Chains A and B, each alone.
Chain A
Amino acid sequence: MGYFGEGQDMAFDGPVFPDTGRPKEDVFAALDEIYHMDVDAVHGHVMLYATTLMEDHPVTEVCRHACSKFMKRNMLVREIAPGLQKLEQEVKRMAIEMLRLPDTTRVNITSGGSESIYCGINAAYQWAKDHKPEITEPEIVVPYSIHAAFSKWCHYTGIKITRVPLGPDHRADVKAMEAAITPNTIFLAGSTPCWPYGLFDPVEETAALAVKHGLWMHVDACIGAYQATFLEKLGVEFPTWRIGDIPGVCSMSADLHKHAYAAKPCSTIFFRDKELQQYHWYHPADWPSGPYATEALMGSFPAGSVASAWAVMNFLGEDGYTELAKKTLEARKRYVDGINSVDGMRCWDTDLSVLVFETGDLDTLAVMAGLFERQAFVFPIYQPMLIQLAVDPVPPEVIDTFVNHLRQVAHGVRTGAITSEPLMKLL
């Protein structure tokens, strides 16, 4: 089962696990072949925040080196490994400094945006047990466009989630959110920006609502945090989004493996202070081995991705991240101009590096199918039908290739040579 919801079972002729091991040269050659099955590094486009398009950027080399070096080490036991502890502590400190957060902010490292979100909701749930003990059936109220991980965690834990319809601008409708608050509500959230439309929710107003009703407020800045902070230096203005800048915000999720350019899986969950972070920790000891003190949901967790974050942060520094933010802005403009130059296509005005565009009178899924055939793996948005892609600071050549592909595809769809048929097995 993948992102699009369709499992693709492979048919095997016989056993796959070999009786006898293969020479490593054979294994490496086979791996190379598998690696190149997915995408061509320069002319393909994987819009999965994989930064695949930055294959040739030195940051990728640094990331790969650090990740391989620490691949076999386990962050679970960092207290007895001074090297791992140094990596963890310095990554956390650098994250706080990069995002210009107050020193009182506390941070945990997780495996990705979903886990950071789970941790935010869980902390709120534990907090509510102390502050709202009368609530036995907790609920959370979120904008309709908030990430699906919120629904997943609520499904796992039996918490009720109310997704509130957006305003006409596709951002959170704060008045409607207030109307959705019930005596069982413990938590509100907003995105900066949301995944489907790339728009910042009015989190300052939502946080004011949380304060008014005595609720936990979470900001999901998984996509935006590590990019917005450097774009602001370049004069780009965003609505207020930082945990430290908005009274009432209790937690904030921000992915290191997106625009901090660390290897996957790596994200951060911030808590306003130590007191709120206490609701995150859980160290079970009800087994023969004693306390099991983990960082977040994961038990064992890979030192490789944390080492990659440490290495990339040190390699880029403030200047390097600012330069990449500048290149992202340039890339974004080139994408927007290019896409808008294709007959019928129109980019929406989004807030950050998520781009969405309409395909006019053309069949959106057919356009997607044509792009997929050319290794441009974009995402569909269904309400309304849009195509979404994520902008990385890639060279102009990559963007021009995408736009040329889009132009070819638009022509193909118009003439009927390209249809949505190949995509149907995925959707």
Chain B
Amino acid sequence: MKLTILLYLLKVQLRFSAWRRPGFRKMLNKRDYTLVIRTADRKHGRFFTFTGGRIVSRRGLHPKPDVEMVWCDAGTAFRALAAGDDKTMMQALGKSQLQIEGNLDHFFWFGEVTKHMMGKEA
């Protein structure tokens, strides 16, 4: 449940930032793709589709994602995503708690997007 709420809040925050911050909107406009964040058992998940700077996000999976962040379980996903930093994400990859399916470049780009959203951009 915590993961589901966190992913919903991520959607809200992404859309709010896109609405309020032209710089962030400009960044989103650079790339069109669909990213899914889900657990390996597919019980928890949400997709984020970025098109022309707009964001569509719904609970559940997507039939044709460009990239999927597949977490070993909801608890691990919640802790790593809540930490909200690259290091935690990379460490989860190293421990095979997180696997990336699809285009890896979108995963790294999404990391940049979330950093920008949280005002951590370089």
Q: Does B30 contact A (CB under 8 A)?
A: no
Q: Which of A14-22, A49-57, A380-388 contacts B (4 or more CB under 8 A)?
A: A380-388
Residue of B with least CB distance to A366: B94
Cβ contact within 8 Å between B96 and A384: yes
Please count how many residues in chain A sit with their CB below 8 Å of the partner chain's CB atoms.
16
Q: Which 6 A-B pairs have the closest CB atoms?
A: A365-B94, A363-B94, A363-B95, A424-B87, A364-B94, A427-B90
Task: Give the contacts of B20-67 with A (CB-CB under 8 A).
Answer: none
Cβ contact within 8 Å between B103 and A385: no
Cβ contact within 8 Å between A365 and B90: yes
Which residues of B have CB within 8 Å of A363?
Answer: 91, 94-95
Q: Does B104 contact A (CB under 8 A)?
A: yes
The distance in angstroms between the C-alpha atoms of A144 and B103, with both chains bound, is 8
The distance in angstroms between the C-alpha atoms of A401 and B90, with both chains bound, is 28
Task: Give the contacts of A356-383 with B (CB-CB under 8 A).
Answer: 363-366, 368, 382-383
Residue of B with least CB distance to A144: B103
The distance in angstroms between the C-alpha atoms of A139 and B85, with both chains bound, is 35
Cβ contact within 8 Å between B90 and A383: no
Q: Does A414 contact B (CB under 8 A)?
A: no
Q: B residues engaging A (CB < 8 A)?
A: 86-87, 90-91, 93-96, 99-105
Q: Does A420 contact B (CB under 8 A)?
A: yes
| 15 new A-B contacts at CB < 8 Å, known A366-B94, A383-B101 | A144-B103, A151-B105, A363-B94, A363-B95, A364-B94, A364-B95, A365-B93, A382-B104, A383-B104, A385-B96, A420-B94, A424-B90, A424-B91, A427-B86, A427-B90
Q: A residues engaging B (CB < 8 A)?
A: 144, 151, 163, 165, 363-366, 368, 382-385, 420, 424, 427
Cβ contact within 8 Å between B104 and A365: no
Residue of A with least CB distance to B97: A363
Cβ contact within 8 Å between B91 and A383: no
The distance in angstroms between the C-alpha atoms of A383 and B103, with both chains bound, is 10
Which residues of B have CB within 8 Å of A144?
Answer: 103
The distance in angstroms between the C-alpha atoms of A424 and B88, with both chains bound, is 9
Give, as a whole number of angstroms, the nearest-CB distance from A135 to chain B.
22
The distance in angstroms between the C-alpha atoms of A385 and B105, with both chains bound, is 15
Give, as a whole number of angstroms, the nearest-CB distance from A176 to chain B.
13
Cβ contact within 8 Å between B96 and A420: no
The distance in angstroms between the C-alpha atoms of A165 and B93, with both chains bound, is 20
The distance in angstroms between the C-alpha atoms of A20 and B43, with both chains bound, is 69
Give, as a whole number of angstroms, the nearest-CB distance from B112 to chain A.
11
Give, as a whole number of angstroms, the nearest-CB distance from B113 to chain A.
16
Give, as a whole number of angstroms, the nearest-CB distance from B92 to chain A.
10
Cβ contact within 8 Å between B94 and A383: no
Which residues of A have CB within 8 Å of B93?
Answer: 364-365, 382, 385
Give, as a whole number of angstroms, the nearest-CB distance from A380 to chain B.
8
Give, as a whole number of angstroms, the nearest-CB distance from B54 to chain A.
22
The distance in angstroms between the C-alpha atoms of A366 and B94, with both chains bound, is 7
The distance in angstroms between the C-alpha atoms of A383 and B94, with both chains bound, is 11
Cβ contact within 8 Å between B100 and A364: no
Cβ contact within 8 Å between A365 and B91: yes
The distance in angstroms between the C-alpha atoms of A366 and B91, with both chains bound, is 9
Cβ contact within 8 Å between A420 and B100: no
Residue of A with least CB distance to B94: A365
Which residues of A have CB within 8 Å of B90?
Answer: 365, 420, 424, 427
Which residues of B have CB within 8 Å of A384?
Answer: 96, 99
Residue of A with least CB distance to B99: A384
Cβ contact within 8 Å between A364 and B96: yes
Which residues of A have CB within 8 Å of B102?
Answer: 165
Residue of B with least CB distance to A7: B122
Pick the contact of B91: A163, A165, A420 (CB < 8 A): A420
Can you list 10 contacts pairing A with B, beta carbon distance less than 8 Å?
Answer: A144-B103, A165-B102, A364-B93, A364-B94, A365-B93, A383-B99, A384-B99, A385-B99, A420-B90, A420-B94
